[in-house]
Amino acid sequence: MKVAIYSRVYESSQQQYIQQFFDELQKEKIQPVLFSDYKDQTANQLSLPDNTETFSHHSQLNGEIDFFISLGGDGTLLDAVTLVRDKATPVVGINFGRLGFLASIGRDEVVEAVKALARRSYVLDRRSLIHLDSNVPLFNEVPYGLNEFAIHKRDIAPMIKIHTYINGELLNTYWADGLTLSTPTGSTGYSLSCGGPVVFPDSRSFVLTPIAPHNLIVRPIVIPDNTIVSFEVESRTDEIICALDSRREWVNKNVLLAVRKENFYINLVRLNENNFLQTLRNKLSWGLDKRN
């Protein structure tokens, strides 16, 4: 069995758990294929299996890779999605970050997680993605995201007007700092912090959530994910910001944008005893009120 491993930054404070992870891989005879930048960071810091290989580009991840493992927080896992692309390789998120909605396997569960992969005793959650189409090239070869697409005004610029259409019919013109369109997975991300609802991952929907809207009667709305949502922007500045998950680009305000459901999915691995409701209770501290 081969697993690709990606992480952004090596932190010495996590060394005990990371070393334990690689030791367990070796015990289970699982060959690691490590992101080359991360291997350079961990030189002389970790004891890696002798058969460790490296990769630096998504094209080097062939059909021999059984799992793609992300070591970090949710942002690291979002990076992993841009490397896995449409290969359907199951993604394992081990949380060395903070909240960890996507990277739901705790650092103290690394031994259990590796054993689960070796024994194929896990559950696959299929997560939908969004795809961005525009009249100018954006986001290179990865115009898709797992969490959300967002439109922002630039820096301290005045609020912008975002004309939003569903299948070509006007939904609303948002006067706001911006607007997010999230997947069910992304409903617990940026959308949630802007007052959006929590949506179950298998709900087949999009969530439109305004960012600091000028009209207080404007509220988030849930729409079917078989629709095409398009945008036209008015701004007093020449540029706006478009973001897909943790990636962003500055584009001319006259850009034409349309978002639809991507035609492939990402498979997230979770341990059998973990589910979405448990994640909600744990991450949002539901049920900890002493009056309950």
Q: Is 74 a catalytic residue?
A: yes
The answer to whether residue 93 is domain-embedded is: yes
Q: 157 and 223 share a domain? A: yes
Give the per-residue pLDDT at 44. Answer: 84
Q: 73 and 140 share a domain? A: no
The answer to whether residue 292 is domain-embedded is: no
User: Which string of DSSP letters, residue by residue, matches the chain?
Assistant: -EEEEE-S---GGGHHHHHHHHHHHHHTTPEEEEEHHHHHHTTTTS---TT-EEE-SGGG--TTEEEEEEEESHHHHHHHHHHHTTS---EEEEE-SSS-SSS-EEGGGHHHHHHHHHHT--EEEEE--EEEEESS--STT--EESSEEEEE--TTPPPEEEEEEETTEEEEEEEESEEEEE-TGGGGTHHHHTTPPP--TTS-EEEEEEES-SSTT---EEEETTS-EEEEEE-SSSEEEEEETTEEEEEETT--EEEEE-SS-EEEEE-TT--HHHHHHHHTTTT--TT-
Cα 164 to Cα 139, 195, 227: the distances in Å are 21, 19, 12
The answer to whether residue 123 is domain-embedded is: yes
Q: 149 and 108 share a domain? A: no
Q: 139 and 88 share a domain? A: no
Q: 46 and 87 share a domain? A: yes
The answer to whether residue 84 is domain-embedded is: yes
Q: 145 and 250 share a domain? A: yes
Give the per-residue pLDDT at 13. Answer: 85
Q: 137 and 157 share a domain? A: yes
The answer to whether residue 289 is domain-embedded is: no
Cα–Cα distance between 209 and 202 in angstroms, integer? Answer: 19
Cα–Cα distance between 275 and 218 in angstroms, integer? Answer: 32
Give the per-residue pLDDT at 152. Answer: 96
pLDDT tens sequence for the chain (292 residues): 999 999 998 888 889 999 999 999 999 999 999 999 999 998 888 899 888 999 999 999 988 999 999 999 999 999 999 999 999 999 999 998 776 778 888 888 999 999 999 999 999 999 999 999 999 999 999 999 999 999 999 988 899 999 999 999 999 999 999 999 999 999 999 999 999 999 999 999 999 999 999 988 899 999 999 999 999 999 999 999 999 998 999 999 999 999 999 999 999 998 876 678 877 787 777 776 666 5
Q: 233 and 276 share a domain? A: no
Give the per-residue pLDDT at 233. Answer: 97
Give the per-residue pLDDT at 22. Answer: 94
Q: 81 and 174 share a domain? A: no
Give the per-residue pLDDT at 289. Answer: 66
Catalytic residue selected from 74, 177, 225, 245:
74
The answer to whether residue 288 is domain-embedded is: no
Give the per-residue pLDDT at 99. Answer: 66
Angle at 73 between CA 180 and CA 207, to 5 degrees: 20
Q: What is the CATH number of the domain that holds 62?
A: 3.40.50.10330
Side-chain-facing half-sphere of 213: CA atoms under 13 Å? 18
Prediction pTM value: 0.90
Dihedral (Cα; 142, 126, 272, 121), 10-degree rounding: -80
The answer to whether residue 252 is domain-embedded is: yes
The answer to whether residue 290 is domain-embedded is: no
* Whether the Cβ atoms of residue 127 and residue 201 lie closer than 8 Å to each other: yes
Give the per-residue pLDDT at 136. Answer: 93
Q: Provide the domain count of the chain.
A: 2
* Whether the Cβ atoms of residue 11 and residue 29 lie closer than 8 Å to each other: no
Domain that holds residue 135: 130-261
Q: What is the CATH number of the domain that holds 211?
A: 2.60.200.30
Q: 109 and 145 share a domain? A: no
Q: 92 and 178 share a domain? A: no
Q: 147 and 253 share a domain? A: yes
